[in-house]
Copies of this chain bind each other. A is one copy, B any other.
Amino acid sequence: MAAAPRGGKRCQRLEPSLARSVLSEAEAVLFDCDGVLWRGEAAVPGAAEALRLLEAGPGKPRLLCYVTNNSSRTREAYTEKLRRLGFPPAQPRQVFGSAYCAARYLRRALPAKGSEGPAASVYVLGGPALSAELEAAGVSHLGCGPSPAPDSALFGARAPLDPAVRAVLVGYDEHFSYGKLCLALRYLLRGGEEGCLLVGTNRDHRLPLEGGSAVPGTGCLVKAVETAAEREAFIVGKPSRYIFECVANEFNINPARTVMVGDRLDTDILMGNNCGLTTLLTLTGVTTLEEVQGHLESNCPERRNLVPDYYVDSIADLLPALQD
């Protein structure tokens, strides 16, 4: 792309010779999934082959991990989807979804069960995958699904509160409702900042659908709860460093030898840049080169931080470098 300021990221096209050099240094490669490996149910052509070659590596095998803000699938569901679409086999522990990472965060942040009283519990706005990850982590919660209607005695504005709740967790929730928002606010007001955590899986505004359409993302629901509670949620997903810390703690990887591959500047690339990773943008998802150009020419440090080191049209562009 155009002239870059000295020392800054330049969003350079990752040509095969450069790709060979960048990838030979990489011990770990982290992939966002939707928009990078697949779109909906269709694999990006050549992506599966690129991952197979990448994992084999020139010397020892490289670690591949899957880092996604999607909170509506479990780690197991991701390994199953990778398998179904022809990607190299992955273990659930290679998958860092925001549902798993939220459960991991809450397991550590919530007070341990004392000698008296029940274990701390979580009021969850989310779907079955978020429930499942909390259960797998041993975190007690109140379940998910539809909430009582305004004419019910159990409507959120007046339902009895569970004394064990010490956190509100907001993820993707097709059953999100005003009643749930009421209950979330009541738990947050009762506990105060000390007594009731507010955690969000991510701030994505929208989930793009095939054909250019979109549905509202979890960020809309997090904003609604934050506005009511008048405080900021702790965010688990990209661009938060927390999701990378989960990977780093699990696999003891070196950020300087890690590549983050993603299609979104304000999540994937920003997280990678903030954590000292090498960042690679793919144009198979939601971002155009024109957007990067705007950030690259900006004098605003926040915008400059959205510029990746490299870009490719598709991760299939890595094939020539990997096939040698």
Residues of A within 8 A of B (CB): 146, 149-150, 155, 157, 173-179, 181-182, 185-186, 189, 205-206, 213-217, 219-221, 223-225, 227-228, 230
Contact between B223 and A185, CB atoms less than 8 A apart: no
Contact between A223 and B213, CB atoms less than 8 A apart: no
Tell me the nearest residue of chain B to A190, going by C-beta: B213
Contact between A220 and B181, CB atoms less than 8 A apart: yes
- Of the A-B pairs whose beta carbons lie under 8 Å apart in the complex, a sample of 29, sorted by A's number, is A149-B175, A150-B174, A150-B175, A157-B174, A174-B178, A174-B179, A175-B177, A176-B177, A176-B178, A176-B181, A177-B177, A177-B178, A178-B216, A181-B216, A181-B220, A182-B215, A185-B214, A185-B216, A189-B213, A189-B214, A205-B230, A206-B230, A216-B227, A219-B227, A220-B223, A220-B224, A220-B225, A220-B228, A224-B224
Docked Cα-Cα span, A117 to B213, in Å, equals 25
Min CB distance A224 to B, Å, is: 4
Tell me the nearest residue of chain B to A147, going by C-beta: B177
Min CB distance A229 to B, Å, is: 9
Min CB distance A130 to B, Å, is: 14
Residues of B contacting A178 in the complex (Cβ-Cβ under 8 angstroms): 173-177, 216, 221
Residues of B contacting A224 in the complex (Cβ-Cβ under 8 angstroms): 216, 220-221, 223-224
Contact between A186 and B173, CB atoms less than 8 A apart: no
Docked Cα-Cα span, A214 to B216, in Å, equals 26
Contact between B146 and A149, CB atoms less than 8 A apart: yes
The residue from B173, B223, B230 contacting A227, defined by CB atoms under 8 A apart? B223
Contact between A205 and B228, CB atoms less than 8 A apart: yes
The 8 closest A-B pairs by CB, nearest first: A216-B228, A176-B178, A150-B174, A224-B224, A220-B227, A220-B224, A223-B223, A220-B228
Docked Cα-Cα span, A96 to B214, in Å, equals 37
Docked Cα-Cα span, A205 to B178, in Å, equals 13
Residues of B contacting A181 in the complex (Cβ-Cβ under 8 angstroms): 176, 216, 220
Known: A149-B175, A205-B227, A216-B228. 10 other contacts (CB 8 A): A150-B175, A157-B174, A176-B181, A177-B178, A185-B206, A185-B215, A189-B214, A206-B230, A221-B224, A224-B224
Contact between A216 and B175, CB atoms less than 8 A apart: no
Min CB distance A106 to B, Å, is: 22
Contact between B182 and A216, CB atoms less than 8 A apart: yes
Min CB distance A174 to B, Å, is: 4
Residues of B contacting A173 in the complex (Cβ-Cβ under 8 angstroms): 178
Docked Cα-Cα span, A290 to B296, in Å, equals 46
Instruction: Name the residue among A150, A186, A215, A221 with the largest chain B CB count within 10 angstroms.
Output: A215
Contact between B228 and A206, CB atoms less than 8 A apart: yes
Residues of B contacting A175 in the complex (Cβ-Cβ under 8 angstroms): 149-150, 177-178
Residues of B contacting A228 in the complex (Cβ-Cβ under 8 angstroms): 205-206, 216-217, 220
Residues of B contacting A150 in the complex (Cβ-Cβ under 8 angstroms): 174-175
Instruction: Name the residue among A155, A177, A189, A206 with the largest chain B CB count within 10 angstroms.
Output: A177
